[in-house]
Each structure stands twice: as structure tokens, then as C-alpha cells.
């Protein structure tokens, strides 16, 4: 009698479990090895990063819309879920053809290795190691475990039973007494338990090593003392801050500030090691700057509202902070750069980050007198790691993807003809000034306020042009001017509010803003791609 058929009922789930254990060991070993290479080289991070690089813009926007800043967590959980399913399948396959199952595990290691070495921030073939070593461990484990499931057990042969046979070719052997299914139950349980324990150990050790990486960077941030600015921000006029319940605060607290980037591992750069070069077309005096060089220069402090091009009408990816940093125009001038309007040959400044991001900004905008800066501080402290420590760019009036490179490492002058930056390669516009927009913060969609006076309030922004007017419309009524808070600067958003005598029933509230060039934001709805969403924000509520 063929034991393969006799034991299949229990052996199939156990084989699938073996696949899962092999996958677990592979990931755990990879995590451990990545602690020795660099955390970004781990297979889940690498495949996740490679997936982000290749995500079509529409899907990226969908992910940001639905998962917000959790999009990266969702991506990694998704990768793990897919890996788990494939591991189960490979386990089942191994029961039929042991070598094929093991080879399948190795194949995933190769995919991980390719992803890790293809990332823009990968500089060394060592990035392939975590995936390869992890997959080897997983493949061996799967081979051994399934060996226990298919090994004939000779009577009283003791633990381990017979030698594993290639391909599990065990048909025709009689099951051992006391082992009616004809497989090495004890050997399997022992091997599986040891493997599970080893995975947990390796995984936890790798996690903790990876978690404690960047201690030097954390310490360096702790030691940063930002000197007082040579040019302080003008005090926010008292009338610029409204306290209507539910309105976005004028200054966005750092912890609430939106975060949009492609980094699955937040770069931890040691400020004492930081160097940045300014070089390229039309640079007659290339500069290399340290963090101390930057702090030693006259600093400017400015309130600037940042916005993301992926922000939908009414969306959350906009925030206002107090930035401190070095004026970028001055640095460029020192490097001998002239803007195109003064005959300079470079019209694009490409910022590169330590994580391989590239962001291209018009040189003309940087040098036209606006407060473009290399920011070192945000809301009174050194930049938080998630917002680009130690140095990022901030340019008033331009969406973040064309101006606000975090974890800055290099500035190269070139032309828009010669080079497409990261998002431009992914079909976003080369140039993207922020569109005039306004948002109703309160009431919230589907709110049920009581009839009587209801405060409608929110924010409006048209960075570097300034907001001139905000109007609100209830249903199809006339546009009514909202009360505008005092303007801080043209680079910040403006809060607004309007008391409304709410009558019972369903209502649609709509807002629109007009900037100081006299242009009213267009009603025409466009998607975020390629250069930012347009349209009027409206909110549907029911008054009780």
C-alpha cells in the first residue's frame, strides 16, 4: 500500500505549515542579516520600495487617499499576506516534489535580492545578502521538514527515521508499527519546533539590532542647537488666529503635520557626518557644506504652508509650520549660479536625498526673492526625522514633490530638458505651483448640527500669491463673503469663518477662494495628477 495516499489527509496541512515555517525562518534570518548590511536591504522593505517605485500614479493616489500615512504599513502587511499564501502553496508543492518547493523558496530570495539591489539608494551588492541568506535557510528548512513528512519510518529507528530521499520518493514502503500514517511524526515536530524557535530568536534579534540603528543620528539630533535667526519670522498678527472649534489650527503642531514620502525605513542621518555638495551646470564655484557650515550662516525663520500635490480637494495633506534655515538663493549665488533670466545655463535644481529621491525645482523660482531655504528646524526644534533631519528644502508656493526634498544630500544644477526627477518620470508635471484652494474644516461632512447659528469655518491657501477673499455658498444660494482672519504672510494659509443661520433639512455648503492676483479658484474638478487637484470643496450636512 502506498503511504503517500494513506497519510495525505494530515500531511498536506503539515506540508503547508512547513512552507509557512520556512517563509518565517527566511524572513527572520533576512532581518538578522539586514541588521549587518543595512535595514533597507531586508526583503520586505526592498520589495515594498520597489513596488512603490513602480506603482502607477493613480494607484499611489488611491492608496494615499484610503490609507493616508498608513499606506506603507498596509503595503508591508499586504506583502506579508501574499508571502504567507505563497509559502503555504510552496509547502504543498514540496510534498509532491521536494526539490521544487525548496527551489521556489530560493526563487523568492532572488526576487528580494533583485529588488534590494535595484533601489535607487542601493550602492552595494551586499544589499542582496539578506534575501539570499534568508531564502537559503528557508529552502533548507522546507526540504528537511517535508523530508520528515515523507520519510519512511523503520521500526524502532528512533528519531529522524530514515534518511530523507530526493523528491520524497517513498512509495512502496510499509508504514512502521505505531506510525499508521507512515511518516516521522516525532522528527517533524522536533524540527518544526526548533525552526519556529530559531525564527523567533533571529527575528527578534534582527528587529532589535535594526531598531537601535541610527543611535548616532539620534544623539546628533539631540545635540543640535539652532542659533537664533538673523531674520526672525514676523510675529503672527493676533487677528490671524481664529479659535473656532473644529478649524485647523493656524500653526499645525509638528506631530499632526502630514507626512508624504516613499521611505519605508525613515533615514537616520548623523548630522555630524552630513555633507552636501552644490555642483553642476553653470556652477563656477562648487560648494561642499557641513551641517555646522549651515548653522554658521545667517538663518531666516519663516511661516510657510506646505502642500502635497496628492491632496484631494478638501484633503488633509497641507500644513503650516515655522521653518528656520539658510536662504538657498544666497548659497546658489556663492556657487556662481545665475538664474535663467540673468543668462544662467541651468533652469532646474535637482535635490537628491539619502534615500534616492530626486526632486527638481525651477532655479528661477528659488532665486526670485521668495524665501526658498535649506531648512534645519521646524516649529522651534531641529527637523524631526520623518520631516527630513538634518536638512530639507522648503520653497514657498510649490508643491512638495517639486520643492521640499527631505534628508537632503546633494544639489545639482541642470536643465529640465536634460533630467526628469522621480515623480516626473512617473507622469507628474515637471513644474507645479500650488493651486489656490480652500477647505471647509467645520461642520464635518454628514454632521447633524442643530438649527440656529452654525459656524462654518476652514482654511484657504494660495502660497506666495496670498488669499484675498473667501466666499461660501449654501445650496444654490448667493455667494457670501466669509470673515477672513488677518493675513500672516502670502506664503501661509488663511483661516476664515462665517456664522450661518442654519435651517432644518439637508444642505450643501461650498467654499471658494480668490487669490491676490484676483483669480478665483476654478470650479472645474481635476484629478491630482499631473499637477494638483482643482475644484470647490463642498460638505453635505443635515440640520436637525
Residue with cell 520589495: 47
3-state secondary structure of 149: helix
Residue 442 binds ligand MTE (CB under 6 A): no
- State the minimum distance, in angstroms, from the CB of residue 220 to Mo ion: 27
Which residue, judged by CB position, is nearest to ligand MTE in the bound state? 400
Find the binding residues for ligand MTE in span 403-432 (CB under 6 A).
404-407
Residue 398 binds ligand MTE (CB under 6 A): no
Residue 306 binds ligand MTE (CB under 6 A): yes
Residue 510 binds ligand MTE (CB under 6 A): no
CB 349 within 8 A of CB 413: yes
Residue 260 binds Mo ion (CB under 5 A): yes
Residue 387 site contact among Mo ion, ligand MTE, none (CB < 5 to 8 Å, cut-off depends on kind) = ligand MTE
Residue 474 site contact among ligand MTE, Mo ion, none (CB < 5 to 8 Å, cut-off depends on kind) = none
Find the binding residues for Mo ion in span 291-320 (CB under 5 A).
308
Residue 127 binds ligand MTE (CB under 6 A): no
Residue 389 binds ligand MTE (CB under 6 A): no
Residue with cell 520631516: 387
Find the binding residues for ligand MTE in span 314-373 (CB under 6 A).
353, 355, 357
CB 146 within 8 A of CB 191: no
Among 36-44, 234-242, 397-405, 525-533, the segment contacting ligand MTE (CB under 6 A): 397-405
Residues 6+ apart with CB under 8 A from 306: 318, 319, 320, 321, 394, 400, 404
Residue 273's alpha-carbon distances to 76, 352, 378, in angstroms, are: 31, 17, 21
Residue 72 binds ligand MTE (CB under 6 A): no
- 168 burial via Cβ count (<10 Å: 0-12, 13-18, 19+): buried
Beta-sheet pairing, 452-461 with 437-442: antiparallel
**Out of 108, 183, 250, 257, the residue judged to bind ligand MTE by CB under 6 A:** 257
Residue 400 binds ligand MTE (CB under 6 A): yes
Task: Give the residue with the Cβ less far from ligand MTE, 175 or 384.
Answer: 384
Task: Give the residue with the Cβ less far from ligand MTE, 121 or 471.
Answer: 121
3-state secondary structure of 216: helix
Residue with cell 491632496: 311
Residue 71 binds ligand MTE (CB under 6 A): no
Q: What is the DSSP string of 272-339?
A: TT-EEEEEETT-SS-EEEEHHHHHTSPPEEEEEEEE-TTPPTT-S-EEEEEEEEEEHHHHHHHTT---
Which residue, judged by CB position, is nearest to Mo ion in the bound state? 308
**Out of 41, 220, 244, 262, the residue judged to bind ligand MTE by CB under 6 A:** 262
Residue 400 binds Mo ion (CB under 5 A): yes
Residue 43 binds ligand MTE (CB under 6 A): no
Cis peptide preceding 250, ω within 30 of 0: no
Residues found near ligand MTE in the complex (CB under 6 A) = 257-263, 306, 308, 353, 355, 357, 387, 400-401, 404-407
Amino acid at each position: 500500500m502506498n503511504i503517500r495516499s494513506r497519510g495525505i489527509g494530515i500531511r498536506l496541512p503539515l506540508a503547508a505549515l512547513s512552507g509557512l515555517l520556512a517563509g518565517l525562518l527566511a524572513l527572520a534570518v533576512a532581518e538578522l542579516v539586514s541588521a549587518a548590511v543595512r535595514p533597507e536591504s531586508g526583503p520586505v522593505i526592498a520589495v515594498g520600495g520597489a513596488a512603490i517605485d513602480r506603482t502607477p500614479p493613480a494607484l499611489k493616489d488611491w492608496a494615499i487617499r484610503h490609507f493616508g500615512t498608513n499606506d506603507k504599513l498596509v503595503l508591508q502587511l499586504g506583502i506579508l499576506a501574499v508571502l504567507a499564501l505563497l509559502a503555504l502553496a510552496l509547502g504543498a508543492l514540496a510534498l509532491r516534489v521536494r526539490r521544487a518547493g525548496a527551489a521556489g523558496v530560493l526563487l523568492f530570495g532572488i526576487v528580494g535580492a533583485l529588488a534590494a539591489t535595484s533601489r535607487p539608494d542601493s550602492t552595494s551588492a551586499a544589499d542582496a545578502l539578506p534575501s539570499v541568506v534568508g531564502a537559503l535557510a528557508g529552502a533548507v528548512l522546507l526540504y528537511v521538514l517535508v523530508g520528515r513528512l515523507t520519510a519512511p519510518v523503520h521500526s524502532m529507528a528512533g528519531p529522524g527515521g530514515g534518511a530523507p530521499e530526493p523528491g520524497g520518493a517513498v512509495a512502496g514502503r510499509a508504514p512502521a508499527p505505531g506510525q499508521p500514517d507512515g511518516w516521522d511524526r516525532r522528527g517533524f515536530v522536533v524540527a518544526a519546533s526548533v525552526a519556529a524557535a530559531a525564527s523567533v530568536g533571529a527575528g527578534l534579534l534582527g528587529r532589535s539590532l535594526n531598531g537601535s540603528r541610527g543611535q548616532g543620528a539620534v544623539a546628533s539630533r539631540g545635540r543640535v542647537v539652532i542659533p537664533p535667526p538673523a531674520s526672525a519670522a514676523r510675529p503672527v498678527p493676533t487677528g490671524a488666529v481664529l479659535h473656532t472649534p473644529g478649524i485647523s489650527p493656524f500653526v499645525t503642531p509638528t506631530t499632526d503635520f502630514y507626512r508624504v514620502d516613499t521611505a519605508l525605513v525613515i533615514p537616520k542621518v548623523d548630522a555630524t557626518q552630513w555633507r552636501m555638495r552644490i555642483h553642476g551646470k553653470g556652477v563656477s564655484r562648487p560648494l561642499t557644506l557641513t551641517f555646522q557650515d549651515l548653522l554658521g550662516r545667517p538663518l531666516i525663520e519663516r511661516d510657510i504652508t506646505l502642500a502635497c500635490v496628492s491632496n484631494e480637494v478638501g484633503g488633509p495633506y497641507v500644513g503650516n509650520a515655522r521653518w528656520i534655515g539658510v536662504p538657498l538663493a544666497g548659497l546658489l549665488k556663492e556657487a556662481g549660479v545665475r538664474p535663467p533670466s540673468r543668462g544662467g545655463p541651468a533652469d532646474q535644481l535637482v535635490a537628491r536625498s539619502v534615500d534616492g529621491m530626486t526632486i527638481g525645482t525651477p532655479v528661477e523660482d528659488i532665486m526670485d526673492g521668495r524665501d526658498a531655504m535649506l531648512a534645519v528646524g521646524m516649529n522651534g526644534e531641529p527637523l524631526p526625522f520623518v520631516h527630513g533631519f538634518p536638512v530639507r528644502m522648503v520653497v514657498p508656493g510649490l508643491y512638495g514633490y517639486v520643492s521640499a526634498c527631505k534628508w537632503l544630500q546633494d544639489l545639482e544644477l541642470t536643465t529640465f530638458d536634460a533630467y526628469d526627477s522621480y515623480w516626473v518620470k512617473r507622469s507628474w508635471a515637471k513644474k507645479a505651483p500650488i493651486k489656490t484652494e480652500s477647505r471647509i474644516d467645520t461642520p464635518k461632512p454628514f454632521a447633524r448640527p442643530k438649527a440656529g447659528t452654525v459656524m462654518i469655518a476652514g482654511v484657504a491657501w494660495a502660497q506666495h500669491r496670498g488669499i484675498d477673499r473667501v466666499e461660501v455658498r449654501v445650496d444654490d444660494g448667493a455667494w457670501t463673503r466669509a470673515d477672513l482672519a488677518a493675513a500672516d504672510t502670502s506664503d501661509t494659509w488663511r483661516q476664515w469663518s462665517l456664522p450661518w443661520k442654519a435651517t432644518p433639512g439637508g444642505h450643501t455648503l461650498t467654499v471658494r477662494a480668490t487669490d491676490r492676483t484676483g483669480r478665483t479658484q476654478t470650479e472645474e474638478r481635476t484629478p491630482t495628477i499631473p499637477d494638483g487637484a482643482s475644484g470647490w470643496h463642498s460638505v453635505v450636512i443635515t440640520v436637525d
